Amino acid sequence: MAGAQRALFVLTILTGSFLLFLVQPLVARLALPRLGGAPNVWNSAMLVYQALLLAGYFYAHRLSQLPLKRQGRIHLALLAVAGLTLPITLADLPPPTSGMEILWVPALLALTIGPVFFLVSAQAPLMQRWYAAHPSSAEPWALYAASNLGSFGGLIAYPLLAEPLLSASEQSIGWSLGYALLVVLVGICAWSRAKTADAAMPQAEDGSAVTVGWNKIGLWLVLAAVPSGLMLSTTTHLTTDLFAMPLLWVIPLGLYLLSFSVAFADNRLLARVFTQVAPLFVLVAGGFAAASSHAATLVPVIGSVFLLFIVCVALHSRLYDARPDASQLTLFYLVMSAGGALGGMFTALFAPLLFDWVWEHPLLVLAAAVLLPTSSLFDWRKLKEVDPQLAQVTAAAVLSVGLAMCWFIYQATTTEGDLEKGQYLLTLGVGLLGCLIASWRWMLAVLLVALMYAQGGWDTIDASREGLRTRSYFGVYTVREFPAQRMRTLAHGTTLHGKQSLDPKLSRLPLTYYGPGSGAGIAFANADRLFGPRARLGVVGLGTGTLACYRRPGQTWRFFEIDPAVLQLSRNGTFTYIRDCAPDAQVVLGDARLELARVPKGGLDMLAVDAFSSDAIPLHLMTDEAMGVYLDALSPQGILLIHISNRYIDLEPVLAANAAKRGLHAVLRDDDPSQEIGNYFTPSTWVAIARDPSRIADLRKVDPSRAWRPLGPPAARAWTDDHASILPQVRWNNMLGQD
């Protein structure tokens, strides 16, 4: 009978946790067309979820102090009332004013999913408490491992099953049915405990009330906060260069949740193994945490994902070892949830305001190194035959060797600008030396700081000290000057977003992806021939304002830019393309898709979509609904240009499918100006789309090279707001750095 009841509670916890973390990417995915594609959107969503989770754990903690029967009645009644808000639909909020996204995004998500998320989040600690109420029940902690296993399953199920197979509306209905099942299971659990005496609730072993000191509560908080913050900072690393989309959102969160299943399992073998190898991963992968220059592959990013999992297992294992008596179960989970919320607030809310770069990531890696359990494969202090003073001196010598190796790595990065295989081997060597001194946390921290500095941190620190960066809700922008080349560049994240010559004779020359041989350059330079002297032209994504220098007298220009920080770079004279070439151009602040919907139908003759977050094009700008917005803004003879250069995602089949769905005509132009003198131009891929095939023919005529070609085979289905999956379009060879 006890086994059957345990299975019932495990099933209830698994179901609730599965639903809880299935709904997170679902709601964020629903909201993308209204929120834009910045990586911080997901961080804001996670902040809301963590706040609701904290509220749910507080509710479970307070409810558990009532008689069992009353707990069941109250919880079931509230679950039924919250169910009236289903199926899930976005709250009807007006668009945010510029600069208020950091508050508007959490408000939208809280109003959309708040009631059901709050109550479902309470079920894991509450069901564990109900389970432990029976005198014959075993320790409840393993049920928390089951809870996080269910959470991990929900997260993985979304990008692999729900998103590819179901539309967003079908996902919402399916989730509602799952919620109904959960209510039934909770009702059965409540009935199974209806006859359990309240006195049977667990007490301390000696029968006395258990008190928890503030020191222990503080330890719980920090051990929960650091992995939570690190999870969000790792998410930013992933989504900055790829796509703001569920597959990349769930990887760090899924590993974070899976770490609890390992750390809280009854069998401690895996937890011990991961804890003992954690110093090696902290040094080898964490050593890249302060590097801000772009790597040729995703190897460092993949390393940061493994680092996240190992660190989370190690710190959560230490948290498990510091757990209280079962009588304090809900307090323990409440403090854990508070720590998770604090870590999320630090990364998503405070860090963008405090730092000019994502300094929160290396700081959290360093904090993790300081908090790692002292258990190590090479703990000399536990060897009776080794004198403690001799062990300390030997460890200091090992640290000195490690610092010397860091110096060699630094020399390589400053002279060659990148790490060769030999330096990677040096990094591994530093990591192995770090394992020898991991029992001394301060030594491990010193070695980690040195390695971070050597692996590119020196360049990141210099950029911050020189004030080269601007950080906003939408990303980190770096402006650099190269006196020898007389050039100024703008990078968003790790990707070049434009540059301008400081030579007065060349300052109006469009450079990078917008040169005379690029698809956009050819189209805009010939706008008069295509549309007459009074052409109406629009650009989504301001960047440095480069395209403005294709303006001719009589033309009307309009830029759409979501980030005021980018506009400021043109207004303060950092980049002068707009001031010099199109001073009367209108710049519209706000999400381009929403703002374009306000443009009078047929109000533009040509529109270029060039909105990137680092190397990632916001997904909501590539759907069929977005295409409809662009076409409404364009005249019947208008031309749409979309910039699809991307290292990791092949967007050509997506646009081919969207064009085919609407009966549009599309061509593509690859521009590789590698033979040009002066390193002014950058390879680019632009797609031109029009309703009228004669418009495409006209565009080909004005291109001397006639390099436009038809699009390749379309994707299996067009992307829509309701259904989009990038898995078929991933360039896996580029992901792994293969040719």
- pLDDT tier, 204 (very low <50, low <70, confident <90, very high otherwise): very low
- pLDDT tier, 283 (very low <50, low <70, confident <90, very high otherwise): very high
Q: Is the dihedral of CA 668, 674, 676, 680 positive or negative?
A: positive
Reply yes or no on whether the pLDDT at 612 is more than 70: no
CA proximity to 464, closest of 574, 356, 352, 354: 356
Dihedrals φ, ψ of 639, to 5°?
Answer: -125, 135
Beta bridge partners of 481: 488
pLDDT of residue 617: 64
- pLDDT tier, 200 (very low <50, low <70, confident <90, very high otherwise): very low
pLDDT of residue 439: 82
Provide mean pLDDT across the span 324-333. 80
Provide mean pLDDT across the span 89-108. 73
How far lies 564's CA from each of 108, 386, 570, 610, in Å? 21, 62, 10, 16
Q: Is the dihedral of CA 637, 641, 642, 645 positive or negative?
A: positive
CA proximity to 412, closest of 454, 462, 458: 454
**Percent of the chain's residues with pLDDT above 70:** 85
Please tell me the distance from the alpha carbon of residue 102 to that of residue 108, in angstroms, as a whole number: 11
Q: What is the pTM of this model?
A: 0.77
DSSP letter at 94 equals P
Tally of CB atoms within 10 A around 179: 22
Reply yes or no on whether the pLDDT at 98 is more than 80: no
Arithmetic mean of pLDDT over the chain: 84
- Asked if residue 293 lies in contact with residue 209, where contact means CB atoms within 8 angstroms, the answer is no
Reply yes or no on whether the pLDDT at 170 is more than 70: yes
pLDDT of residue 699: 94
**Percent of the chain's residues with pLDDT above 90:** 38
Please tell me the distance from the alpha carbon of residue 227 to that of residue 204, in angstroms, as a whole number: 30
Query: What's the 3-state SS for 280-347?
Result: HHHHHCHHHCCCCCCCCCCHHHHHHHHHHHHHHHHHHHHHHHCCCCHHHHHHHHHHHHHHHHHHHHHH
pLDDT of residue 186: 93
Residue type, 528: D
Instruction: Copy the structure tokens of residue 162.
Output: 């729900």
Residues, the chain, total? 739
- The 10s digit of each residue's pLDDT in 444-487 is 999 999 999 998 888 889 888 888 888 887 778 889 998 888 99
Provide mean pLDDT across the span 657-677. 86
DSSP 231-282: HHHHHHHHHHHS-SSHHHHHHHHHHHHHHHHHHT-S--HHHHHHHHHHHHHH
Query: What's the 3-state SS for 583-623?
Result: CCCEEEECCHHHHHCCCCCCCEEEEEECCCECCECCHHHCC
**Which residue in this structure is represented by tokens 């062990």?**
391
pLDDT of residue 198: 54
pLDDT of residue 32: 66
- The 10s digit of each residue's pLDDT in 682-715 is 889 999 999 999 999 999 999 888 789 999 999 9
Provide mean pLDDT across the span 522-541. 95
Reply yes or no on whether the pLDDT at 562 is more than 70: yes
Highest mean predicted confidence (pLDDT) among 202-211, 364-373, 374-383, 389-398: 364-373
pLDDT of residue 201: 44
Domains in the chain, start-ordered, CATH in brackets?
1-202 (1.20.1250.20), 510-735 (3.40.50.150)
CA proximity to 126, closest of 333, 337, 319, 316: 333
Reply yes or no on whether the pLDDT at 675 is more than 70: no
Please tell me the distance from the alpha carbon of residue 273 to that of residue 675, in angstroms, as a whole number: 53
Please tell me the distance from the alpha carbon of residue 597 to that of residue 343, in angstroms, as a whole number: 38
Instruction: Copy the structure tokens of residue 344.
Output: 């999320």
Q: Which residues contact 153 (CB under 8 A, 6 or more apart)?
A: 14, 18
Provide mean pLDDT across the span 351-370. 91
Residue of 1 and 548 predicted with greater confidence: 548
How far lies 389's CA from each of 78, 385, 393, 579, 599, in Å? 62, 12, 6, 68, 75
- pLDDT tier, 138 (very low <50, low <70, confident <90, very high otherwise): low
- The 10s digit of each residue's pLDDT in 570-588 is 999 999 999 999 999 999 9
Please tell me the distance from the alpha carbon of residue 253 to that of residue 343, in angstroms, as a whole number: 13
Residue of 233 and 242 predicted with greater confidence: 233
